[in-house]
Amino acid sequence: MMDAGARDEVPVHAAEPAAPSAPEPAGNVAEGEASGGVIPELHEVDVPDELREEIETAMSRYPEIRSAALPALWAVQREYGWCTPDGVRQAAAVMGVTPGYLESLATFYDLFRTTPVGRHQVLVCHNISCWMRGADDLLRAFSEAAGADAHEADHGGASSADGEVFVMGFECLGACDIAPMASIDERYYGPLDAGDAETAVEQLRSGAEVLPDKALADRPAAGGPEPEPAPETRMLFKSLDEPGLASIDTYRRLGGYSSLERAFRDLEPEELLGVLEESGLRGRGGAGFSMGRKASFLPRGEMSKYLCCNADESEPGAFKDRELMQKNPHQLIEGIAIAALAAGAGWGFVFIRGEYAAVADILDRAVAEAYEAGYLGENILGSGSRVEVVVHRGAGAYICGEETALLDALEGKRGNPRLKPPFPAIQGLYGGPTLINNVETLSNVPHIVANGAEWFKGLGTEQSPGTKVVSVSGCVQRPGNYEVALGIPTRELIYGLAGGPPPGREVKAWFPGGSSAPILTAAELDLPYSFEAMADAGSMLGSGSIIVADDSISIPELALRTARFYHHESCGKCTPCREGTNWTVKMLERVISGEATPMDLDIIASVQENIIGHCLCVLGDSMAMPVSSMVAKFREEFEEHIRRVASDSPGSGADGAAGLHAQGAEGDRSSGEAGGGTSSLAPASGRHA
Amino acid sequence: MRDRPQISFLVDGVEVPAEEGTMLVDAAKHGDVEIPVFCYEPKLGEPVGACRMCLVEIEGIPKLQTACSTPVRDGMVVYTRTDRVQAAQESVVEFLLVNHPLDCPVCDKGGECPLQDIAMGWGPGRSRVIDPKRHFQKPIPLSPLIKIDRERCILCYRCVRFSQEVAEDEQLQLLERGASTFVGTFDDRPYIAPFHGNIIELCPVGALTSDAYRFRARPWDIEDAGSICTLCPSQCNVILTVRDEQIERVLARDHPEVDDGWLCDKGRFGYQMAESGDRITQPLVRQGGELRPAGWEQALEAATASLRRAGERTAAIVGGGSSNEEGYLAQRIIRRALGSPHVDSRPRGGASEPPRKSVGGRTPPDPAARDLLLELSRPELAAGVADLDSAQSILVVGTDPLHVMPILDLRIRKVVRRNGTRLAVATDRPSALDGGAEETARYVPGFTRGFLWALAAEVGLEGYERGPGELAGDAERIAGVLEPGSTVIVWGGEADRALVDIAAKLNAKLLEIPDGANARGLREVGCLPHAGPGLSEASDGRNAGEIRDALAAKELEAAFLLNADPVRDFPGGPAWTEALGKAKFVLAVSMFENASTRHADVVFPAEFYAEKEGTVTHPDGRLQRLRPGVPRPDGVRPIWQVLVELSALLGDETGIDSPPEALSAIASEVPFYAGITHEEIGGRGVRWQERDAASAFPERETNGASISGWLSLEGDGDTHTGLQIGTYRDLWASEVTDRSPALRFLAPRQTLELSPADADRLGVVQGEEVDVRSNGASVRARLAIRERIRPGAGFLVEGTVEANANALEPGVLVEIAKVGGEK
């Protein structure tokens, strides 16, 4: 038994005191049903030993115990198949928190199930790149093979009658290179067709290995093992498909960890900061801010400082960090350790999206190897410096890629962005100064330390030195990650490397920096691919993810897909984003069903204007900017679509509506189910229903 | 409060002075500029900038900024009504209404709704939304006291922030995400927490409504009346919502130095007791063995005759809810008109915590008692509530604020959370504040004094003993938290010399959490056996416990119970029953018939606080005014007036003819209240320690005679093999709960709390019925296992309607017997 004393001794970070325990309820409501809201005591719940151990181990890994909330919910879900109310209470008792707090988290994150589901989980990506390549058919095929309701599967998930298979349409899983794809029991497979779906479901039911030849784990880099010397410039991707690169021995054999050794043995933090700043390395997560300068913002002196590696790559069209971590985890770990040393951070957290479970497993193994080799932990290589690295798995929320939402999520909260200032460099994780960098950014660090700032500046352009891993997906023949020097013509990326659209098709539009970038058209294909040129064209390079739409793609449908994603991912904290994304989706659904008028297009455009610049973080803008660009650049197509659908079903605007409501996300949420709640407090909609 | 430099800035072209760092939204008010807000509420802590209603334009910053989170700087140029800002404001209102049902005509908030006001003042005036809105079942109970209408909710998160950052119960949560987000609780269970009513007031729309107030009135039907809630020592400032001469609602009247603008649910919903049908609304006189309604004249005559007969063998017990004026007049009747020294207002009256075997077997000599009282009441040692905000450390010892003075619980949580104040808690029973404490000590039931001595020794005071190992270790840990020169000691229970010595040594201040809402005022106006008005010297009277025993022994003949129900509320309930049964005459002033009035011969109906005019004194010395917000029921008279009349009938003409005159009579006898008037007290009250008259505070008599060192600790009480019982007063174990229909569900059943180890040892399980026995007394209780209970200790609730734990002496060893054999 862990007694109260032991719980009190769980280390609590001084910057933010643990919440004093909740006032106890009054005498006779303390018992039974009514007591559910307060912190349960261990004797009131029957926690399986292994579950308790797992949660307590997680609690011991963080400076603050609430950071163990997501690991605890993961543990509950593994134990019971979903986050059962009893399981949540057990975790709450072990952690000494209210079960409501944990439920609030469980319902925020997409990967936690709060109702019973099938034993095997099949998440079918239905986001832009997969949709372009047949995701809707694939989801239907999985649903049919499992015998689950296809519509339900695309709106929160559905399980087979035998309880074996749960199928769910899911937002971008970060594997557009294998679109259309699915995550089956946390492992990625693709590209898949209807036949694969049927096979996979059979294999799941029979316990056989699932689609061995479609596993992402075994797929080589897009450019092949020996790419042409140009236009690819391999630095981060060097030796990417070297067998065993993920193991420390191979990595070291290829020269890995020599930068770390040099940094910890021979360099002062200030020297390291100088090299990083001098190199001109810009953040690869999207904002493009100088990595060295950002690190230099952290106050000096003795205090708890943190480094967070943003591995929550979730922008539709982005999948570079996944491949970097999956194939070369030690490059990242080496970068983290060096950057932590430079910033004076004693802890490095890798916040990796929960969908990347297989990659997180690889990272976990690599971190363990690095500890074993003395590259992490206390007194690294006898330098007296300490860097602890923890791989923290998210649980399905795009917003956690926003740096302050990431901090909240890492602290065990709902991933809501914070007001800035204070900026994380001053007051970040657990209230301490925090440096947050993207996976690719940190992966660059060992190379800069090894070769020097001057060498690095010799790559790429003056304003954007170095290489960039670009994810190209959608309507191209060779989707994948390509490492290039920034500034190469976009056409060369899309046509030369990625093979361009299928024969007979033309590029109609493209997102230069993930789905949140305003779209560009074929006329802009010859622009150099760089931060500056994309910004000048009214868009952005972002994290370097190109999604190509060819002339078979309906822009209104693309707009709806895009808006739905941000609507789904809006955290709900601020009004313009929460309500603006929601309203935009409803209007676009009317456009698709032909119920809209051209005036609605004006309102859609105006609503996007009302979102832009008014939100707490950039998520609202991330929908408003591309949707706005689509309506502006393809207005005729929108109007034509409305006219065509309306005339295709003469006098049946109502039928169109019924059809939509039978299929649409919002239609059925807002109609009719209000009375269906099983208990008095049940909401009429949402995942509880 | 830190002094911040005065600066000036321009808002909409007007130059406005402000304190640097004030949030723009507040600073702009000085220029008569209102910036609309929904989520901003400084009482909830740091701004969150979520609703985006307060976007303004600031020169030099390209994006619009939230005025709620932007501190003002010198020379800042701010625009709140430019086209750009107006467009943003209109768009936010339009967004908020995308999912709002606009059902104002049937909404309880209509007419006092910030969303209505802001939509009218800053909204576009028309809607472009034709799409379906989101739907929820509505309204549904969020708790037995609150209904939630999720369709009206605009997700400003004020209520969940209250639950998480103020009350810290963390029961109210956001569930789901994005546009599907809604406010709810774990597994849809009811939100039961003692402060949860505050979310009704925080809600800027009609999403959270009081079940008791729903559809009772529109804002134009009601009047507001300010007063002080005297249902507990917090003495929160309240606004009574009055319709047709009835209280329909109680709201907070924000006083930063008293309540921070919060109320507990007892204060918020307890007004219902005023309208209870069971209320006594005319005098009762015992005739033919039964209390029967009587006229005032008859009742006063009957009381006068019997009291005159008993004369100096009369004793008065003044209940904690009495006003200063009532208390003053009652002790005056006893002392002057009847010539008796026996008056007490303290349930524990000095003797209720029996001398403990482990405490050397002696009680303090009485001359020291007044000295101790004087020492503990000294103005220089007195902490105001607001001093908690600036203290670097707080020691809570011998009390759990949540149950006795709930608002102080919120105050302490606030400073721990926001200021990083170091908190140490030393109690016998686990306290609600433990979670925020840096150190906690858990001593054996009733052993506060032993802990204090050990602490006194630990901080280096001569003559105190550290005690045995565990106690010394606890004291060391606790002492390590206390910052010399910046500590407030929040204490409760029995007064002890060690408190004064520790406070002096640490240069700390003291704040007592007394038993009884106006306990401090009643003491200071003379309701004590060993001190008269102004804590003046008084001939030795008997304390409450001694009065009880003397009545039982027929040494005393008559008892005057003023707003007091000792059978329920004082230690030794059965003994009180016996004592009152043996008294020749019992006069009671009471709102209800209860276990004590059962023995009364004459009962005068009491006023509810909202009907009273007079004053009370907050535990920190703040005199506050009670103002009548509603008329008394027909047949009920002002008690001050009744007491003046009774006094005259008994031969002491007071010359008092009005509440201000009663106060001035008090002020003439209490030197440190000298000159105080209703006008000076006003709407915000005044701490007497901060007035010039405080210098007239009496000096102690026995100069410097140290009383430490004459006791020594023997054993730590931990060697017992049996179970040592402690009792505590649950917040809800009160008449207020029983008489207010909305609160009745909270009335506690008797519960025995045990550690898991003891439950195992005794072979009893959660929820099982047991009898707790000692010295022939027995209390039936349901068993509750709690991990934080100290092994060897068990706790029972005092003041329950059934099976009141005041039948048992605290600290005694008890036996536990299962009820109904094996189950």
SS (H, E, C) B494-520: CCCHHHHHHHHHHCCEEEECCCCCCHH
Chain B nearest-CA distance from A204, in A, is 30
Q: Are A279 and A456 in contact (CB under 8 A)?
A: yes
Decide if pLDDT at A519 tops 70: yes
Whole-Å CA distances, B474 to B457, B597, B793: 12, 45, 17
pLDDT of residue A221: 87
Decide if pLDDT at B64 tops 90: yes
| Mutation target among A103, A104, A420, A589 for the B interface, most CBs of B within 10 A | A104
Q: Smallest Cβ distance to B69: which of A96, A419, A571?
A: A419
- Asked if A419 and B140 come within 8 Å (Cβ–Cβ), the reply is no
Chain A nearest-CA distance from B348, in A, is 23
Mean pLDDT of A421-425: 95
- Asked if A27 and B748 come within 8 Å (Cβ–Cβ), the reply is yes
The contacts of residue A599 (CB under 8 Å, 6+ apart) are none
Strand duo A165-170 + B6-11: pairing: unpaired
Whole-Å CA distances, B377 to A417, B503, B694: 50, 12, 11
Chain B nearest-CA distance from A12, in A, is 10
pLDDT of residue B708: 43
Decide if pLDDT at B140 tops 70: yes
Residue A488: Cβ within 10 Å count = 23
Q: Which residues of A touch B49 (CB under 8 A)?
A: 419, 574, 616
Looking at chain A, the whole-number percentage of residues with pLDDT higher than 70 is 88
Rounded CA-CA distance B579/B178 in Å is 65
Q: Which residues of B touch A682 (CB under 8 A)?
A: 137, 188
| pLDDT classification of A236: cutoffs 50, 70, 90 | very high
pLDDT of residue A287: 84
pLDDT of residue A187: 98
Rounded CA-CA distance A118/A103 in Å is 20
- The complex's ipTM works out to 0.94
| pLDDT classification of A231: cutoffs 50, 70, 90 | low
- Asked if B167 and A675 come within 8 Å (Cβ–Cβ), the reply is no
Q: Are A320 and A470 in contact (CB under 8 A)?
A: yes
Q: Which residues of B touch A27 (CB under 8 A)?
A: 730, 732-733, 746-751, 797, 800
Decide if pLDDT at B180 tops 90: yes
Chain B nearest-CA distance from A415, in A, is 10
Q: Which two tokens stand for residue A306?
A: 């943190």
| pLDDT classification of A6: cutoffs 50, 70, 90 | very low
3-state secondary structure of B790: coil
pLDDT of residue A227: 62
- Asked if B164 and A19 come within 8 Å (Cβ–Cβ), the reply is yes
Rounded CA-CA distance B593/B600 in Å is 10
Rounded CA-CA distance A220/A243 in Å is 10
| pLDDT classification of A226: cutoffs 50, 70, 90 | low
Tell me which residue of B637, B640, B646, B651 sits closest to B616, measured CA to CA.
Answer: B640
| Mutation target among B186, B412, B439, B746 for the A interface, most CBs of A within 10 A | B186
The contacts of residue B733 (CB under 8 Å, 6+ apart) are A27, B747, B748, B797, B798, B799, B800
Decide if pLDDT at A686 tops 50: no
Mean pLDDT of A146-173: 96
Statement: the pTM of the whole predicted model exceeds 0.90: yes
A315-364 pLDDT per residue, tens: 999 999 999 999 999 999 999 999 999 999 999 999 999 999 999 999 99
CA dihedral A663, A668, A671, A673 (to 10 degrees): 140
pLDDT of residue B467: 76
- Asked if B48 and A42 come within 8 Å (Cβ–Cβ), the reply is no
Rounded CA-CA distance B823/B629 in Å is 54
Q: Which residues of B touch A683 (CB under 8 A)?
A: 136-137, 150, 175-176, 182, 184
The contacts of residue A96 (CB under 8 Å, 6+ apart) are A7, A21, A39, A65, B435
Mean pLDDT of A200-225: 92
| Mutation target among A10, A21, A113, A115 for the B interface, most CBs of B within 10 A | A21
Terminal Cα distance for chain B, rounded: 59
Q: Which residues of B touch A583 (CB under 8 A)?
A: 95, 98, 129, 131
Tell me which residue of B388, B396, B403, B447 sits closest to B424, measured CA to CA.
Answer: B396
Mean pLDDT of A544-564: 98
Rounded CA-CA distance A128/A560 in Å is 10
Q: Which residues of A touch B96 (CB under 8 A)?
A: 575, 579
Q: Which residues of A touch B154 (CB under 8 A)?
A: 575
Nearest chain B alpha carbon to A33: B189
3-state secondary structure of A306: strand
Mean pLDDT of B511-532: 96
Mean pLDDT of B341-359: 63
The contacts of residue B409 (CB under 8 Å, 6+ apart) are A23, B400, B401, B402, B432, B433
Mean pLDDT of A99-127: 97
Decide if pLDDT at B348 tops 90: no
| pLDDT classification of A13: cutoffs 50, 70, 90 | very low
Rounded CA-CA distance A430/A576 in Å is 28
Decide if pLDDT at B737 tops 50: yes
Chain A nearest-CA distance from B629, in A, is 30
pLDDT of residue B551: 98
A218 versus A639: which is more confidently predicted?
Answer: A639
Tell me which residue of A487, A191, A430, A210 sits closest to A305, measured CA to CA.
Answer: A430
Q: Are B375 and B500 in contact (CB under 8 A)?
A: yes
pLDDT of residue A223: 77
| Mutation target among B89, B94, B95 for the A interface, most CBs of A within 10 A | B95
Mean pLDDT of B695-703: 79
Sheet containing A187-189: order of strands: A158-159, A165-170, A120-125, A182-184, A187-189
Helix segments in B583-686, DSSP class H: 639-649, 659-669, 678-681
pLDDT of residue A460: 87
pLDDT of residue B495: 87
Find out whether the peptide bond into A212 is cis, omega within 30 degrees of 0.
no
Helix (H) or strand (E) holding A75: helix A69-80
Least confident of A8-22, A222-236, A444-458, A517-531: A8-22
Distance of CA A282 to the CA centre of its chain: 21
DSSP label at residue B462: T
**Which residues, in sequence order, are bridge partners of residue A348?**
A307, A389
- Asked if A603 and B195 come within 8 Å (Cβ–Cβ), the reply is no
Angle, in degrees to the nearest 10, between helices B639-649 and B659-669: 70
Rounded CA-CA distance B781/A32 in Å is 16
Residue B748, phi then psi, degrees to nearest 5? -75, 145
Decide if pLDDT at A16 tops 70: no
- Asked if B95 and A603 come within 8 Å (Cβ–Cβ), the reply is no
Nearest chain B alpha carbon to A571: B178
Least confident of A584-588, A664-668, B61-65: A664-668
| Residue type at position B28 | A
pLDDT of residue B367: 59
Q: Which residues of A touch B92 (CB under 8 A)?
A: 575-576, 614
Mean pLDDT of chain A: 89
Mean pLDDT of B648-674: 98
Residue A667, phi then psi, degrees to nearest 5? -55, -50
Q: Which two tokens stand for residue B434?
A: 């433990």
Q: Which two tokens stand for residue A287?
A: 């904002």
Nearest chain B alpha carbon to A677: B137
Alpha-carbon dihedral sign for residues B738, B740, B743, B745: positive
A257-301 pLDDT per residue, tens: 999 999 999 999 999 999 999 999 999 988 889 999 999 999 999
Rounded CA-CA distance B155/B685 in Å is 37
Mean pLDDT of B280-296: 96
Q: Which residues of A touch B63 (CB under 8 A)?
A: 613
- Asked if A19 and B767 come within 8 Å (Cβ–Cβ), the reply is no
Query: Which residue is listed with tokens 């009532």?
Result: B326
Buried b / exposed e across B57-87, counting CB within 10 Å, b at 16+?
bbeeeeebbbbbbbbbeeebebbbbeeebeb
Chain A nearest-CA distance from B189, in A, is 6
Mean pLDDT of B29-43: 96
Mean pLDDT of A146-159: 96
- Asked if A669 and B194 come within 8 Å (Cβ–Cβ), the reply is no
| pLDDT classification of B717: cutoffs 50, 70, 90 | very low
Sheet containing A467-474: order of strands: A480-485, A467-474, A545-550, A507-511, A520-521
Least confident of A408-412, B105-109, B232-236, B809-813: B809-813
pLDDT of residue A687: 35
3-state secondary structure of B106: helix
A647 versus B271: which is more confidently predicted?
Answer: B271
Q: Smallest Cβ distance to A419: which of B49, B168, B409?
A: B49
Helix (H) or strand (E) holding B586: strand B585-590
**Pairs across A and B, CB distance < 8 A:** 291
Strand duo B723-729 + B813-818: pairing: antiparallel
Tell me which residue of A593, A571, A598 sits closest to A665, measured CA to CA.
Answer: A593
